[in-house]
């Protein structure tokens, strides 16, 4: 009994879909695009860009308080794809410079990551509006067909009642399907936009906190040497590689 009811419902849904005409296929394509964008943005914001900002900042603060600037910077650099970690790392790498340079470095990283955090989110609301409008277009098309049937303009081999019912069916089915796609798309846009704003707010909050922390440390007379240490190490490693890769030269005289 239950299986028969389920089978009947499935047949009804499929029948409704095909009865809606070409507009149903357009709305279906929109739903696939919206679903793909929504899933990609969900995994990006939930996993790729998201990080526990409080835990990361407390760990960085612990190393700064212990005057271990190298470990603080390494902590940020180990999260290569986390915007918050990269913004804090940019600030730490310029910690020995004036506060304006620290702000500029962190703002530069923020401006780099914010568009990537918000990337394609606006598409979801746009697709929701398009699905609604395509459903409305199907409604108008169905009503035109229905009024044409009432006026006596119908195809051969079909009764006026059938043509009227078909036109009204197209109008109702396309409207319903357009809303079925539009409503989840808008909800997904709202959720993902809030998630993106959370990440951006964390970046602003902890970047300001890091700047204030560095200012307090400098006020105590401690001069961070993070950028100098890392640039020196980098130069040393480059020199070592060049020495290893360079061919041996004969210093003797003939």
54-91, pLDDT tens digit by residue? 999 999 999 998 888 889 999 998 998 899 999 999 99
Mean pLDDT value of segment 102-115 = 94
Mean pLDDT value of segment 104-121 = 94
Q: Which among 19-28, 51-60, 166-175 has the top mean pLDDT?
A: 51-60
- Indicate if the pLDDT at residue 135 is higher than 80: yes
213-240, pLDDT tens digit by residue? 999 888 887 666 664 443 333 333 344 4
Q: What confidence score (pLDDT) does residue 59 get?
A: 94
- Indicate if the pLDDT at residue 108 is higher than 90: yes
For the chain, the average pLDDT equals: 82
Of 183 and 8, the structure prediction assigns the larger pLDDT to: 183
Rounded Cα gap, residues 203 and 210, in angstroms? 10
Least trusted range by pLDDT, from 35-39, 199-203, 224-228: 224-228
In this prediction, what percent of the chain has a pLDDT beyond 90? 54
Q: What confidence score (pLDDT) does residue 226 get?
A: 61
Half-sphere exposure of 50 (CA within 13 A, CB side): 13
Phi/psi for 64 (5° steps) reads -65, -40
- Indicate if the pLDDT at residue 119 is higher than 50: yes
Q: What confidence score (pLDDT) does residue 218 get?
A: 85
pTM, whole model, 2 decimals? 0.77
Q: What confidence score (pLDDT) does residue 154 get?
A: 55
Q: What confidence score (pLDDT) does residue 141 get?
A: 87
Q: What confidence score (pLDDT) does residue 165 get?
A: 77
Q: What confidence score (pLDDT) does residue 42 get?
A: 96
What is the band of 157 on the pLDDT scale with cuts at 50, 70, 90?
A: low
Q: What confidence score (pLDDT) does residue 243 get?
A: 42
Q: What confidence score (pLDDT) does residue 219 get?
A: 84
């Amino acid at each position: 009994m239950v299986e028969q009811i389920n089978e009947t419902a499935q047949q009804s849904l499929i029948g409704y879909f095909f009865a809606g005409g070409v507009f149903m296929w357009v709305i279906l394509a929109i739903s696939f695009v919206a679903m793909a964008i929504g899933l990609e943005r969900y995994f990006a914001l939930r996993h790729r860009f998201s990080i526990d900002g409080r835990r990361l900042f407390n760990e960085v603060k612990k190393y700064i308080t212990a005057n271990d600037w190298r470990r603080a910077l390494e902590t940020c650099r180990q999260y290569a794809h986390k915007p918050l970690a990269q913004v804090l790392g940019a600030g730490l790498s310029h910690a020995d410079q004036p506060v304006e340079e620290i702000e500029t470095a962190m703002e530069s990283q923020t401006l780099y990551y914010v568009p990537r955090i918000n990337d394609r989110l606006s598409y979801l609301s746009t697709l929701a509006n398009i699905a609604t409008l395509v459903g409305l277009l199907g409604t108008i098309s169905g009503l035109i067909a229905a009024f044409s049937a009432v006026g006596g303009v119908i195809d051969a081999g079909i009764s006026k009642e059938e043509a009227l019912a078909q036109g009204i069916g197209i109008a109702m089915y396309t409207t319903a399907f357009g809303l079925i796609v539009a409503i989840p798309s808008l909800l997904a846009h709202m959720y993902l936009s809030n998630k993106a704003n959370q990440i951006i707010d964390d970046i602003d909050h902890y970047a300001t906190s890091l700047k204030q922390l560095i200012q307090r440390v400098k006020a105590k007379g401690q001069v961070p040497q993070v950028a100098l240490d890392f640039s020196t190490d980098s130069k040393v490693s480059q020199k070592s590689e060049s020495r290893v890769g360079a061919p041996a030269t004969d210093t003797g005289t003939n």
